[in-house]
Structure 1
Amino acid sequence: MNEHSTVSNLQGHSMMDSHQGHTDHKENIPKLQVDWTANPHTVKVDQETEIFIDIKDFSGKVIETFLAVHEKEMHLLAIKKDLSVFQHLHPQYIEKGRFHVKTTFPKAGEYKFYADFLPEGANQQLASHELVVKGLETKEEVVPDKLLKKEIDDLTIELILPKAKVDEHISLIFTLYDKNGNPITELEPYLGSAGHVVIVSEDMNEFLHVHPVDENTKGPDVEYMTSFPRSGLYKIWGQFKYKQQLYTVPFVIEVK
């Protein structure tokens, strides 16, 4: 894989939600060029793979400086197209516009990447890319969860939300309990926040990355505000840190 893509500005539901309202005069950098390279070139299931991401402006000039958002200069989401695999990666910035990360893909099939980053002097940017992982592929059907409550390792996590409708601002509340059913009140910051939520539509054309209303809450409730731009099925991944362990909980909902 050695391919090229452009990026778009993140709108509304970005990693910058908690930073909106700043009065800095920033110029939008249009049509950034993003080159993706994989080593090895043919990516196989369960094989360690290096991903290189090179970022230039529209004229081909290297972008040199990136600002950290939630403690990282880039957040990279790797999601299998049947939504059965979710990876939240943090490529390291090397120099001269190049980022690097290593990962292993646990299932064969098509993946989509979303790279979320902030060049100095520009708006938040989102670059997407597709990659095929070779191997024997099995596809999972995306089905809405009947019960929005799951056990993840030794925690129970419940998602409370009203019936989701298109373009309506709604509250998503994650409530966390320990193995004895006691409410958790000592959540630890994960990347500078009480939790992170990524939401992707079934066709992967809609990508939302939202952060808590109260970034410093310690539980048991962590609330998010968002809206869904189109009807259909969406998968939601919530990520929380407790006793030095990261918990990722998935839910599938239908928006009408």
Structure 2
Amino acid sequence: MNTTTKFAGFALGLAAVFGIALGVGAAVGPEPSEPAAHDSHAAGSATAGGSATDPAGGLLATVAGYTLSLDNATTTAADAQLRFRILDADGAPVTRYVRSHDKDLHLIVVRRDMAAFQHVHPVLDETGTWRASLNLSRAGDYRVYADFTPEGGEALTLGADLRVAGQYDAQPLPASATTATVGEYTVTLDGRITPGQSSKITLSVSRSGRPVTDLQPYLGAYGHLVALRASDLAYLHVHPEGEPGDGVTPAGPGITFSVTAPTPGDYQLFLDFQHEGVVRTAEFTAQAVPGAAAPQSGHSGEQPGHGH
């Protein structure tokens, strides 16, 4: 999908009116099995499937005849490999996909309190089973999102629950703020969001007080944004305007996104960006309030238990 398409599963349009706030950030390294490159998925409108006609993705395990089936929906921290299949309407595993932004399938795994987030790219075997290595060291209930396009079908985002046994250290949603820190990096949000309207926000990256102007492509873009509605974990996959190498889009410090938030409420945003060969994730708590003024800068810090 190109950068002009809206979220891959939930049109998340950032309008000039929508109080967005940023929270905490965490530094993460690129996935060990793949070279650094950034994913630019497109998003749909606002329904449970996360397609161009169904924007609120990840709310259902079955959409348009396709089902996300986890081999084991209950596991422990010791078993860090997730195995799953995408089944068609006949119950057969799907083995052919349309590659989007360098990958056939993007897997997002987030704990339900938003305290642990991972974006990984699993490996598909000849039987149609996907395998992904995860960091499940923090016990709790997780939501698993599969973002993909089956051959001959439309883009979908399916969701299923994963329970990790152990002591659950539930965390409150971070307070909203306009900045997030990731180690020595600071990400600042410029823009407002108004529910039900499409608009733009810019996330600017600086390092030790200096603008970063040499961001590196990660899965085909300078930034990758995932948004989850706090009330029900509806999934919004947003992507930036422009693309690396188009002769127009600068490599930072600002990354501009077009988004559409369907309803008022709290959203958690996860921005992936790459610099000097390392993929980092900045986390923001965004508050969507009709006609709200832009929030004031607030405290932000690194948050453990978050990785790619």
With normalisation by structure 1, the TM-score equals: 0.84
Q: Number of residues paired by the alignment?
A: 234
What percentage of residue pairs aligned between the two structures are identical?
A: 24
Question: Counterpart of 1:173 in 2: which secondary structure?
Answer: strand
Paired residue for 1:208? 236
Q: Name the CA distance, whole Å, in 2 between partners of 1:100 and 1:213.
A: 31
1:221 aligns with 2:254: yes
Question: Counterpart of 2:194 in 1: which secondary structure?
Answer: coil
Paired residue for 2:67? 33
Mapping 1:32-71, distance limit 5 Å: 32-38=66-72, 42-45=74-77, 47-71=78-102
Q: Which moved more, 1:185-194 or 1:208-217?
A: 208-217
Mapping 1:126-205, distance limit 5 Å: 126-145=157-176, 147-162=177-192, 164-179=193-208, 181-205=209-233
Q: Say which structure, 1 or 2, has more relative contact order (CA 8 Å, 6+ apart).
A: 2
Paired residue for 1:4? none
The Cα shift of 1:51 comes to 1.2
Q: Name the CA distance, whole Å, in 2 between partners of 1:12 and 1:236.
A: 14
Q: Name the CA distance, whole Å, in 1 between partners of 2:167 and 2:95.
A: 40
1:231 aligns with 2:261: no
CA contact (8 A) 2:42 2:237 kept: no
Q: 1:71-120 CA distances to partner (integer Å, 9 max, x unpaired)?
A: 11111110111111110011111123221112121311110011001111
Q: 1:137-175 CA distances to partner (integer Å, 9 max, x unpaired)?
A: 111111432x3112211211111121x221011212111
The Cα shift of 1:17 comes to 4.9
Mapping 1:3-42, distance limit 5 Å: 10=9, 12=11, 15-17=41-43, 30-38=64-72, 42=74
Residue among 147, 150, 160 paired with 1:119: 150
CA contact (8 A) 1:31 1:58 kept: yes
Paired residue for 1:5? none
CA contact (8 A) 1:165 1:255 kept: yes
CA contact (8 A) 1:48 1:104 kept: no
Per the alignment, do residues 58 and 76 of structure 1 end up closer, same or farther by CA in structure 2, a change over 3 Å counting? Answer: same
Q: Which moved more, 1:220-229 or 1:150-159?
A: 150-159
Between structures 1 and 2, the one with greater strand share:
1
Give 4+ residue runs of structure 1 displaced > 6 Å after superposition.
Answer: none
CA contact (8 A) 1:157 1:176 kept: yes
Query: What letter corresponds to residue 207 of structure 1 in structure 2?
Result: Y
Query: What letter corresponds to residue 196 of structure 2 in structure 1?
Result: D
Paired residue for 2:34? none
Question: Counterpart of 2:80 in 1: which secondary structure?
Answer: strand
Q: Name the CA distance, whole Å, in 2 between partners of 1:247 and 1:92.
A: 22
CA contact (8 A) 2:108 2:145 kept: yes
Cα root mean square deviation, aligned: 2.3
The Cα shift of 1:50 comes to 1.7
Per the alignment, do residues 35 and 238 of structure 1 end up closer, same or farther by CA in structure 2, a change over 3 Å counting? Answer: same
CA contact (8 A) 1:144 1:233 kept: no
Residue among 104, 107, 111 paired with 1:73: 104
